[in-house]
């Protein structure tokens, strides 16, 4: 069978499964999720062994320690995976929800009802817990899911998917509702993302080159979870103590995440007071500061920022620091260099806050809070499948609702159009 | 300048304009729309002359009369175009609307607010009134729009776009908020749909090959307005008089539209009573019936349907007719052969209606009403930019709301993540 025929068969099996999933009730789906959690529990030894094989191979191939860490499934991480499935089961099911309802003058009743999307393909790298998380979120929302993990985690992913499918079967999950692509052939992704009419959505999660490859090849709609070049702007009216606390948190609390602040902009009127204290605090935490000329005129022991620094997602203890003459200049900088993910203003001026929030074209805009809050859990969504940097369908943290679409159910008593 | 550089410049100018549009208030936008309507009124002679040129060239090139008719701007159609702009001005502006608001336990206030998408490219064929309609809808929702009409309407489109831009200028519309691609080079579309990061959404409106070409080439998210292979299913419990009325309307009221019924499925228990009456009524209207063997066993003077007929959007007085043994068979047929646009069941059984609506995977599902109602106006949206056959972002009729996205505005008083 050609790779094309193979992926087509996978897609069609998912499509079949999605029809059966669409009519499952919440109680049945929750029972299935519980059976899946139990099956992962029962298979934890097999999962750990498969993962040990992946980790060993990755080390032998010289994978960077940070990536090996992401790949590794400790006992605690397997526990978290199991708990995660149960947490998804406990969430409210958005499927079937009546979004709105109205009656037309001719008597037609129109109900806009939330329904599953259908078939979702997730293409991801490295962390094998994504396999369990995304499968649980998709099943909860009655979507069939096709999982394509990274080569480096293939054995871990297989073991997890096998356990979940086995548990699902016991709970009454339709066959092929969860499918893992078992070949590591890169061309499989290309085939998968061209199954429009069968696969309804592709979510690539990973590095820039993975996302770019999916976007270039896809004919299926793509929802991107792209990089986060987030900025915090300290306005002239900022409360300096608050600004120090927020900037330190936004940069240091977990620098490897997409919602960590990578760029600090300071109004020139605040620079003299704020920058030296900020530099002392961040340098004490081990942050490397890269400043523009105006910032370095205030704090001499910063490295000079290069042009590229403003467009870079450091994912590390590095911060680009710029001094701007005005709110407008800060807004223009962020809209131009940022990735439209999460940006904050620290200000005591209501007017500046309003303008910042209106003019910054990002998924989340913050007033006097850390950019680190952009997260499904922190937003109260209960779980997230990622953070969309797209503007269509879903923007920002994607929870269960964002894994659904809607249909119009129109009921009449013989109405015809005239 | 290369075509790539040219399209990039167009995109960047739109992006600039979108920033300025985003902060315009509703009153200002309505004044701009009124100025645009007035300018089209003032330029009606120039528009009519430009259109006459297009029509003459089309006739000379042997364009089919139906297409020449679509291309032609009569006085009445220009009136309708002007009235259309004013109708859009009168609609409620969705931008800025608070979709939801909640407070997190840490005191953060999260507001999910409706905002413009940004830059929208519309690629369309033939009917020049689309230029005015879509420009008005985009401006109303604070989106910059790039219009790319068909070669056959280029002079009409230029005249309309020039008038609207001129009127817009007088009303205070930011420069380049409406841009028409003036080259007829086909490669321009290819460049345009690859401007991801600048253009936020592409809407192709037209034939299958146009849409396919956009989907194949695009890296920008695409919202498709695809074909409509709509079905009406007459259940065994159907009220026959109602079924006759609805089927005739769904097929004949305007057969060239995407929501006209192309396939009629009849439960075998209803076939003997219903089919002869239906055939007599439709044949009297000039409809060509193409039946499967079971249908032709009841009504002998139908043509035999070919396999292709079930997958064809006739857009004409042609109807494929099949007899099915059950509701399940009707559902399976529609999900397999339909285009997930609009499908109806005629039934007196609540249970059959519920199953049909739950299991048919289409944008609009109807109980005892004509599929012809899938339309922004008929749904009460006031205006539509098209009908999405996609599942992401917007499904079914797209009105003003569907031309917006949202952002999260998060306000705190110094919150940091722990």
Over residues A204-214, the mean pLDDT reads 90
B216 and A219 within 8 Å at the Cβ level: the answer is: yes
Identify whether residues A275 and A137 lie together within a single domain: no
Identify whether residues B7 and B60 lie together within a single domain: yes
User: Are B143 and A391 within 8 A, CB to CB?
Assistant: no
Q: What is the CA radius of gyration of chain B?
A: 24
- Domain assignment of residue B385, yes or no: no
CATH number of the domain within which A350 lies: 3.40.309.10
- Domain assignment of residue B284, yes or no: yes
Identify whether residues B199 and B334 lie together within a single domain: no
φ and ψ of A232, to 5 deg: -120, 130
Instruction: Please tell me the distance from the alpha carbon of residue B386 to that of residue A207, in angstroms, as a whole number.
Output: 35
Which pLDDT does position A127 carry in this prediction? 87
Which pLDDT does position A161 carry in this prediction? 96
Identify whether residues B115 and B241 lie together within a single domain: no
What's the pTM value of the predicted model, to 2 decimals? Answer: 0.95
φ and ψ of A73, to 5 deg: -100, 100
Identify whether residues B129 and B180 lie together within a single domain: yes
Can you name the residues that pair with B365 across neighbouring β-strands? A409, B343
Identify whether residues B10 and B150 lie together within a single domain: yes
User: Are B205 and B125 within 8 A, CB to CB?
Assistant: yes
Rounded to 5 degrees, what angle do the CA atoms B81, B86, B91 make? 125
Instruction: Calculate how close chain B gets to A93, using CA atoms only, in Å.
Output: 16
Residue A39 has pLDDT above 80, yes or no: yes
Which pLDDT does position A384 carry in this prediction? 86
Q: Which residue has 């099949």 as its token pair? A: B322
Identify whether residues A182 and A271 lie together within a single domain: no
Which pLDDT does position B125 carry in this prediction? 86
Counting the structural domains of chain B, the total is 2
Cβ neighbours for B284, distance < 8 A, ≥ 6 positions apart: none
Instruction: Please tell me the distance from the alpha carbon of residue B228 to that of residue A369, in angstroms, as a whole number.
Output: 48
Residue B126 has pLDDT above 80, yes or no: no
Residue B281 in contact with partner chain A when CB distance is under 8 A? no
> pLDDT, tens digit, for every residue of A157-166?
999 999 999 9
Q: What is the CA radius of gyration of chain A?
A: 24
- Domain assignment of residue B74, yes or no: yes
Nearest chain B residue to A346 by CA: give it. Answer: B414
Q: Which of B118, B365, B416 is opposite residue A409, by nearest beta carbon? A: B365
Closest CA to B418 of A251, A253, A376: A253
Which pLDDT does position B66 carry in this prediction? 84
Per-residue pLDDT band for B364 (boundaries 50, 70, 90) equals very high
Neighbours of A336 (CB within 10 A): 10
User: Are A273 and A346 within 8 A, CB to CB?
Assistant: no
Rounded to 5 degrees, what angle do the CA atoms B105, B109, B110 make? 110
B253 and A416 within 8 Å at the Cβ level: the answer is: yes
Complex ipTM, two decimals? 0.95
Report the percentage of chain A scoring pLDDT > 90: 93
Instruction: Please tell me the distance from the alpha carbon of residue B245 to that of residue B347, in angstroms, as a whole number.
Output: 13
- Domain assignment of residue B163, yes or no: yes
Identify whether residues A244 and A220 lie together within a single domain: no
Identify whether residues A65 and A209 lie together within a single domain: yes
- Domain assignment of residue B381, yes or no: no
Identify whether residues A157 and A236 lie together within a single domain: no
- Name chain B contacts of A374, Cβ cutoff 8 Å: 408
Which pLDDT does position B298 carry in this prediction? 98
> pLDDT, tens digit, for every residue of A241-265?
999 999 999 999 999 999 999 999 9
Residue A110 in contact with partner chain B when CB distance is under 8 A? yes
> pLDDT, tens digit, for every residue of B297-339?
999 999 999 999 999 999 999 999 999 999 999 999 999 999 9
Which pLDDT does position B149 carry in this prediction? 95
Maximum C-alpha span of chain A: 79
User: Are B275 and B294 within 8 A, CB to CB?
Assistant: no
Which pLDDT does position A1 carry in this prediction? 81
Residue A184 has pLDDT above 90, yes or no: no
Which pLDDT does position B225 carry in this prediction? 84
> pLDDT, tens digit, for every residue of A103-155?
999 999 999 999 999 999 999 987 899 999 999 999 999 999 999 999 999 99
Over residues B264-288, the mean pLDDT reads 98
> pLDDT, tens digit, for every residue of B225-253?
888 999 999 999 999 999 999 999 999 99
- Name chain B contacts of A410, Cβ cutoff 8 Å: 364-367, 369, 373
B408 and A363 within 8 Å at the Cβ level: the answer is: yes
DSSP-derived secondary structure for A278-310: HHHHHHHTTPEEEE-HHHHHHSTTSEEPPGGGG
Instruction: Calculate how close chain A gets to B75, using CA atoms only, in Å.
Output: 24
User: Are A348 and A370 within 8 A, CB to CB?
Assistant: no
Instruction: Please tell me the distance from the alpha carbon of residue A138 to that of residue A119, in angstroms, as a whole number.
Output: 9
Residue A223 in contact with partner chain B when CB distance is under 8 A? yes
Q: Strands of A288-291's sheet, edge to edge? A: A303-304, A288-291, A318-324, A261-267, A230-234, A342-346, A364-369, B404-415, B109-116, B98-103
Identify whether residues A65 and A213 lie together within a single domain: yes
B369 and A409 within 8 Å at the Cβ level: the answer is: no
Residue B329 in contact with partner chain A when CB distance is under 8 A? no
Over residues A91-112, the mean pLDDT reads 97
Per-residue pLDDT band for A66 (boundaries 50, 70, 90) equals confident
| Integer angstrom CA distances of residue B56 from A13, A61, B110, B113, B157 | 52, 69, 57, 49, 15
- Domain assignment of residue A286, yes or no: yes
User: Are B113 and B409 within 8 A, CB to CB?
Assistant: yes
Per-residue pLDDT band for A225 (boundaries 50, 70, 90) equals confident
CATH number of the domain within which B93 lies: 3.40.605.10
Identify whether residues A218 and A191 lie together within a single domain: yes
Domain ranges, residue B88 = 3-226+390-411
Which pLDDT does position A359 carry in this prediction? 97
Q: Which of B222, B372, B392 is opposite residue A405, by nearest beta carbon? A: B392
Per-residue pLDDT band for A32 (boundaries 50, 70, 90) equals very high
φ and ψ of A45, to 5 deg: -65, -45
- Name chain B contacts of A242, Cβ cutoff 8 Å: 413-414
- Domain assignment of residue A378, yes or no: no
- Domain assignment of residue A382, yes or no: no
Give, rounded to a whole angstrom, the gap between the first and last alpha carbons of chain B.
Answer: 52
Instruction: Please tell me the distance from the alpha carbon of residue A360 to that of residue A366, in angstroms, as a whole number.
Output: 10
Residue B58 has pLDDT above 80, yes or no: yes
Instruction: Please tell me the distance from the alpha carbon of residue A415 to that of residue B162, in angstroms, as a whole number.
Output: 42
User: What is the three-class DSSP state of A343?
Assistant: strand
Length of chain A: 418
């Amino acid at each position: 069978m050609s790779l094309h025929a193979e992926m087509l068969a996978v897609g069609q099996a998912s499509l079949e499964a999605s029809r059966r999933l669409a009519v499952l009730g919440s109680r049945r789906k929750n029972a299935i999720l519980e059976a899946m959690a139990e099956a992962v529990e029962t298979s934890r030894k097999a999962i750990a062994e498969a993962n040990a094989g992946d980790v060993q191979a990755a080390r032998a191939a010289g994978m960077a320690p940070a990536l090996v860490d992401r790949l590794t499934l400790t006992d605690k991480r397997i526990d978290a995976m199991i708990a995660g499935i149960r947490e998804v089961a406990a969430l409210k099911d958005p499927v079937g929800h009546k979004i709105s309802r109205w009656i037309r003058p001719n008597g037609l009743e129109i109900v806009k009802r939330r329904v599953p999307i259908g078939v979702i393909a997730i293409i991801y790298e490295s962390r094998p817990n994504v396999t369990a998380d995304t499968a649980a979120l998709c099943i909860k929302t009655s979507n069939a899911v096709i999982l394509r993990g990274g080569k480096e985690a293939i054995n871990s992913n297989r073991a997890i998917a096998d356990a979940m499918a086995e548990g699902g079967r016991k709970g009454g999950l339709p066959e092929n509702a969860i499918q893992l692509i078992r070949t590591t052939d890169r061309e499989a992704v290309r085939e998968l993302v061209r199954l429009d009419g069968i696969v309804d959505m592709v979510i690539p999660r990973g590095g820039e080159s993975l996302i770019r490859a999916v976007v270039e090849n896809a004919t299926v709609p793509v929802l991107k979870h792209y990089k986060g070049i987030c900025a915090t702007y300290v306005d002239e009216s900022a409360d300096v103590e608050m600004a120090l606390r927020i900037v330190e948190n936004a940069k240091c609390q977990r620098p490897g995440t997409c919602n960590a602040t990578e760029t600090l902009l300071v109004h020139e009127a605040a620079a003299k007071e704020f920058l030296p204290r900020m530099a002392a605090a961040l340098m004490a935490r081990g942050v490397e500061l890269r400043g523009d000329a105006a910032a370095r005129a205030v704090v001499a022991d910063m490295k000079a920022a290069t042009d590229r620094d403003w467009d870079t997602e450091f994912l590390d203890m590095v911060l680009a620091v710029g001094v701007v003459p005005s709110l407008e200049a800060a807004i223009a900088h962020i809209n131009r260099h940022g990735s439209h993910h999460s940006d904050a203003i620290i200000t005591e001026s209501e007017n500046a806050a309003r303008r910042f929030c209106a003019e910054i074209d990002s998924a989340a805009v913050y007033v006097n809070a850390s950019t680190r809050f952009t997260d499904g859990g922190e937003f109260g969504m209960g779980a997230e499948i990622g953070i969309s940097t797209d503007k269509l369908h879903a923007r920002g943290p994607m929870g269960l609702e964002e894994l659904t679409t809607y249909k119009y159910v129109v009921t009449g008593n013989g109405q015809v159009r005239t």
